[in-house]
Amino acid sequence: MRRRTVLRAFGWGIGGAVVLGGGGFGAYYLSARRNTVGKVSFDTPLSIPALARSRRGASGARVFTLGIQPGETRFKDGKPTRTWGVNGAYLGPTIRARRGERVEFVVRNGLGEATSLHWHGMHLPAVMDGGPHQTVAPGGTWEPRWTIDQPAATLWYHPHLHGSTADHTYRGLAGLFIVDDERAEALDLPSEYGVDDLPMIVQDRSFDADQQFAQREPLAGSLGVIGDEILVNGTIGPYVDVTTRLVRLRLLNGSNARLYHFGFSDDRRFSLVATDGGLLAAPWETDRLYLSPGERAEIVVAFAPGERVELRSYPAEHGGVLGRLDGFDDRLDICQFRAAGSLSGDATVPAVLGVAPDLAGEAVAQERSFLLASNQINGRPMAMDRIDFGVREGTVEVWEVTNDNGYLHNFHVHDVQFQVLTVDGGTPEPPLRGWKDTVLLVQGRRYRLAMRFRGRTDPNMPYMYHCHLLAHEDNGMMGQFVVLGEGEQVGVPPGRHRHP
């Protein structure tokens, strides 16, 4: 893909001959590893996104008003940075609603260009999904509504305008959407928002000399923008005052392209309690956790009185030959936890959590395979006016997905949470045994994903499936499917869409 630029910059451009591995590229390659361990000052309290306010609508629904707007954010001393946000200058409020509740949104676009807001991980009618067909014009309003019908989970929202998702998200449009239910509330897990239940939207950003966001792709990189500073909820170098023995972190990889390999500075173990779609059947103890762009994880960490420990991202596998250029060799300090001299509560994580995915024994109505390579899926780039296929409402399908080139990709499906049945024919690793809507694709491995389609059908309004590395998605690594009722056939997608 973009590694062709190596030849341009260091071959034809500089030397007039290919000098790959020679002075210029060699020096660049050696310097391309970032290490911020010990260099982050951790002098700013972690910002906690406000909980979105709602009012009770006439129908009894909870109504949220979300204003997408430009603004300025002071990430560091000196000049403020021009950013975009929802009901604020950067990122958006955390939306919270219960299973069974009816929600309505008034989404106002205060930008000078079209955008959209997609509810990532949500089961909902296609027309409410906020994908590339639900564009909100500049100055316009969009009013999606649906009934929350899925288990407790940490979901999120972000723009999805085809060709501009990377740009709009990088500028700051993103927020969490937490779904609650009785089962999760009955568990003895840390649950006081902003105190021992912390939202953590992890993003990398680069700043230019003018302290503005620089959307810089690493020279010879293959994933899109990779930043050298880490923000959590928009805070650079954040610390958290810990007051309880156990703390839950709701981690979202909100980066465009960077793969995180989370762990703590003292390699302490922590418990993974939930993945994209909600609670695992039982906690899984580990000292490292991968999250690719768009994925979420809820982890529970135990602290001892008086200690300080940092959340980091460690070097990652799966980068391929030149992975270093895309950040795979980086060591990054992310957030410091400062435990008080005495901590409340106990340190026991419940042994039983949610209900394990149960699609393995189901009759499979249809199998499909998806090959991701060269900004295409199955050899075709995304086309707004082409619906790739239709699935039958009520049925279970198995999708076999393979990353067929040397670069990092992942795979996200709208509307459903899926079960990873097997990876290369074997049982998936514990972090892939819960409900997922986005899965990291290690090159060459075959992932078999089972999913059940249910709910409202619409032969003309598609849902998306795509790589969640936003530059890949924008460049065409995406496709569209519709959910069909009895006797329905694949129709035609909405004809006229505004393209920026």
What is residue 47's DSSP assignment?
P
135 contacts 115 by C-beta, under 8 angstroms: yes
Q: Out of 409, 436, 448, 466, name the contact with Cu ion by CB under 5 A.
A: 409
Decide: 96 and 181 in contact? Cβ < 8 Å. Answer: no
Binding residue for ligand C2O, selected from 133, 160, 171, 452, defined by CB under 6 A: 160
Q: In the chain, what is the straight-line distance between the N-terminal and C-terminal CA atoms, in Å?
A: 24
| Of 294, 327, 357, 462, the one binding ligand C2O by CB under 6 A | 294
Amino acid letter for position 121 = G
Segment 52 to 91, residues that bind Cu ion, using CB under 5 A: none
Q: Could you tell me how far CA 475 lies from the centroid of its own chain?
A: 18
Asked if 122 contacts 95 with a C-beta cutoff of 8 angstroms, the reply is no
Q: Is 133 a binder of ligand C2O (CB under 6 A)?
A: no
Q: Which does 294 bind (CB under 5 to 8 A by kind): ligand C2O, Cu ion, none?
A: ligand C2O
Q: Tokens 């050899």 label which residue? A: 379
Q: Which stretch binds Cu ion (CB under 5 A): 83-91, 116-124, 190-198, 388-396?
A: 116-124
Q: Which does 318 bind (CB under 5 to 8 A by kind): Cu ion, ligand C2O, none?
A: none
**Could you tell me which residues come within 8 angstroms of residue 269 by beta carbon, excluding any fewer than 6 positions away?**
285, 286, 287
Residue nearest ligand C2O, CB atom distance: 120
Token code pair at residue 341: 């001299």
Write out the two tokens for 428.
């998936």
Q: Which does 34 bind (CB under 5 to 8 A by kind): ligand C2O, Cu ion, none?
A: none
- Does residue 161 belong to the site contacting Cu ion (CB under 5 A)? no
Cα gap 167→165, rounded to integer Å:
6
CA dist., res. 319 & res. 324, Å (int): 7
429 DSSP assignment:
P
Q: Decide whether 452 or 468 has the Cβ nearer to ligand C2O.
A: 468
The CB-of-267 to ligand C2O minimum distance in angstroms stands at 31
Asked whether position 472 contacts ligand C2O by CB under 6 A, the answer is no
Tell me how far, at minimum, the Cβ of 37 lies from Cu ion, in Å: 28
Say which amino acid occupies 478.
M
404/384 Cα distance (integer angstroms): 24
In the complex, what is the shortest distance from the CB of residue 415 to ligand C2O, in angstroms, rounded to a whole number? 10
**Considering Cα of 315, then 317, then 318, then 323, what sign does the dihedral take?**
positive
Q: Does 421 bind ligand C2O (CB under 6 A)?
A: no
Q: Is 86 in the site for ligand C2O (CB under 6 A)?
A: no
**Contact between 414 and ligand C2O per CB under 6 A:** yes
Query: Considering the rule CB under 6 A, would residue 168 count as an interface residue with ligand C2O?
Result: no
Residue 258 or 472: which CB sits closer to Cu ion? 472
Per the CB < 8 A criterion, the answer to whether 239 and 200 are in contact is no
Cβ proximity to ligand C2O, 120 vs 318, nearer residue: 120
Q: Which of residues 199-238 bind ligand C2O (CB under 6 A)?
A: none
Contact positions vs ligand C2O (CB under 6 A): 118, 120, 158, 160, 294, 412, 414, 464, 466, 468
